[in-house]
Structure 1
Amino acid sequence: MSTTMTSLPSRPGTAAGAPQARRPTRRRSRRRESLTALGMVSPAVFLLLLFFVIPVVLAFALAFTNARLVSPTPAEFTGLQNFRTLLDDPLFYKSLRNTFYFAAVVVPLQGGLALVLALLVNAKVKGVNFFRTVYFIPVVTSMVVVSILWTLMYQKTGLVNELISQLTFGVVHGPDWLNNPSTAMPAIIFMSVWQGVGFHMVIWLAGLQTIPQDLYEAADIDGATRWVRFRYVTWPGLRTTRTFVLITITIAAFSLFAQVSVMTQGGPLDSTTTVVYQAVQTGYAQQQTGYASAISLVFFVLVLAVSLVQRFLTREKD
């Protein structure tokens, strides 16, 4: 006697129906994760659009017009007239020289000094955390506050000249630092390096702590000196870090504004006027928004070119 076996439909929860039940659940989970991620990044994207993308687009558009900050007449398209005026503006070339002079001194000086400090505070000695804090304190202080304090220190009867007089027993008397065309920019450079060196010290320090200790132990076994260890272990291990430090210092140096605005207002005799300061003064004080946008656009292209060249020179080579 034969029996006929009939297959029963699989019910939810059985092994056959489990994959079909899990697929909608996975889709809902992925959709929920995507919405959560979108909600988390949306504030940053909104701020990026509001304070970067939109201003850049407006600056590009206004650079080809005769727009003014406050004017009863609407802006008119003038083509390349602002750029022709810029090429004939002696103040622009002077501010450009001042900007490159500041960057050429600050970038290697601040980067090198920050590396030296990072090597010192990376040592495992007692009290090293105290020195890390001391070096970093100027970074968390407002640049405006720091500029005001150093303006008082740079006065003819300020602290800097008093220290010079005391150390030389009254033989040398310091100049009026910020009112002398030959000393105004060096004074701003010294203050800027002092204020920003702690930030890049922390970056160098983070890079130093990523280098494997096994390499240093192998170098010690081989009898390597400190200089040999630095040249063949530390410096190659900081390849990525030094690229980041170099680019960030360069961009910050080219965007010099707060120190000049507070301490010298571009003087004396335009010896401290920078491109950013000229653009702000042209756009707000002189209300020539179109011309200021042209200055900003040209300067943006220059800084971008310098950054790309630096990135190319510091790239990893096979």
Structure 2
Amino acid sequence: MLRNDKKSITTFMLPASILLLVFMVLPFLMAFGLSFTNQRLIESPRGTQFVGLTNYVRALGDNLFRTGLTNNAIFVLVVVPLQTALALALAILVNIKVKGNKFFRVIYFIPTVTTMVVVSVIWSFLYHPDGLINGFLTSITFGAWDGIDFLNNTTTAFPSIMLMSMWQGVGFQMLIFLAALQEIPDSFYEAADIDGANTWQQFLYITLPQLKNTTTFVIISTTILAFRLFTQVYVMTNGGPQNSTYTAMLHIYNMAFKRLNIGYSSALTVIFFLIILVISIIQRIALNDTEEEV
């Protein structure tokens, strides 16, 4: 019986393992190898040469890469906690057993299944000086609001992308929290009611502790997705204005496909991957320590 179980597990894991190997592990190993060369997208007459740590040394002094990492860090620090909290709040709301709650689940989830390119184009129109957002603000202020170009303003461009990103992605995290909420036994809340616990106390001492593993997963996965910020920036601002929305992924793309420098972009990719890996490990350790204290 145990042998059959092992065969079943292997059978189910094999397709995913092959995909992981082909589309993630092997490309990373290839990028790691190319990062020590001067490989170009279009082969140079001299051919590919080994350059050692030259690309990594160059990356350390790359001001645009540092700007991208800084913007990525700001994006993560703002979006991850806000999106996680909003997803939990929405999950609690749609988990209430009232008529029509399934309709709201679908409404909140629709942006998630819409491709980011489409969402970015739509929100670009919304953010236009003559767009719906400026028109709405002008209407509610009786003309006092002077319409601005959100995406061409260094002050508003990045917050605008943050808002759109949270709107597009929150439905996915909401669904994960919703599944976890429905696994919490009703008997826990019934016992709390008998003991006289109010709604807030039930949330603090029942809901949150029961969601600790789910919250850890959501925070780490959202952080990884936030660091991968690229599509919305590429479509909406292309890193501008004045590099206020420039990101590490956009810089890697520019080095690879605009500057045609595959070797250098591979080195940037390896560095970026290691940064995300370290942050994810730190998050995991910190969240586990918090859970143990609770």
Which TM-score bucket, shorter chain as reference?
A: over 0.9
Pairwise CA distance, 1:43 = 3.5
Counterpart-to-counterpart distance in 2, 1:69 and 1:240 = 43
SS at match of 1:228: helix
CA offset digits 1:256-291 (Å, max 9, x no partner): 011011111111111111101110111111101111
Pairwise CA distance, 1:103 = 0.7
CA offset digits 1:225-278 (Å, max 9, x no partner): 111110111111101110010011100000001101111111111111110111
Pairwise CA distance, 1:32 = 12
SS at match of 1:317: helix
The match for 1:139 among 87, 112, 133 is: 112
What code does the residue aligned with 2:67 have?
A: K
> In the alignment, what sits opposite 1:93?
66
Counterpart-to-counterpart distance in 1, 2:9 and 2:76 = 39
Pairwise CA distance, 1:46 = 2.8
Q: Is it true that 1:50 corresponds to 2:22 in the alignment? A: yes
> In the alignment, what sits opposite 1:232?
205
> In the alignment, what sits opposite 2:141?
168
Counterpart-to-counterpart distance in 2, 1:185 and 1:124 = 38
Gap change, CA 1:70 and 1:208, over 3 Å in 2: same
Q: Is it true that 1:241 corresponds to 2:214 in the alignment? A: yes
Q: Which segments of 5 or more consecutive residues in structure 2 lack a partner in the other structure?
A: none
> In the alignment, what sits opposite 1:298?
271
Counterpart-to-counterpart distance in 2, 1:32 and 1:241 = 27
Q: Is it true that 1:60 corresponds to 2:35 in the alignment? A: no
SS at match of 1:74: coil
What code does the residue aligned with 1:230 have?
A: F
Counterpart-to-counterpart distance in 2, 1:200 and 1:42 = 27
Greater relative CO, 1 or 2 (CA 8 Å, sep 6+): 2
> In the alignment, what sits opposite 1:255?
228
What code does the residue aligned with 2:257 have?
A: Y
Counterpart-to-counterpart distance in 2, 1:167 and 1:58 = 55
Alpha-carbon RMSD? 1.8
The match for 1:216 among 180, 184, 189 is: 189
Q: Which segments of 5 or more consecutive residues in structure 1 lack a partner in the other structure?
A: 1-25
Pairwise CA distance, 1:33 = 8.4
CA offset digits 1:161-214 (Å, max 9, x no partner): 111111111101231011111111100000000001111011111111111111
CA offset digits 1:22-50 (Å, max 9, x no partner): xxxx9xxx68984x766654443332222
> In the alignment, what sits opposite 1:283?
256
SS at match of 2:292: coil
CA offset digits 1:101-152 (Å, max 9, x no partner): 1111100010000111111111111111111111001011111100010011
Q: Is it true that 1:129 corresponds to 2:102 in the alignment? A: yes
What code does the residue aligned with 1:317 have?
A: E
Gap change, CA 1:219 and 1:95, over 3 Å in 2: same
Gap change, CA 1:307 and 1:288, over 3 Å in 2: same
Which is helix-richer, 1 or 2?
2
SS at match of 2:96: coil
Larger Rg: 1
Q: When the two structures are superposed, what TM-score results if normalisation uses the length of structure 1?
A: 0.87
Counterpart-to-counterpart distance in 2, 1:106 and 1:245 = 12
SS at match of 1:314: helix
The size of the alignment, in residue pairs, is 290
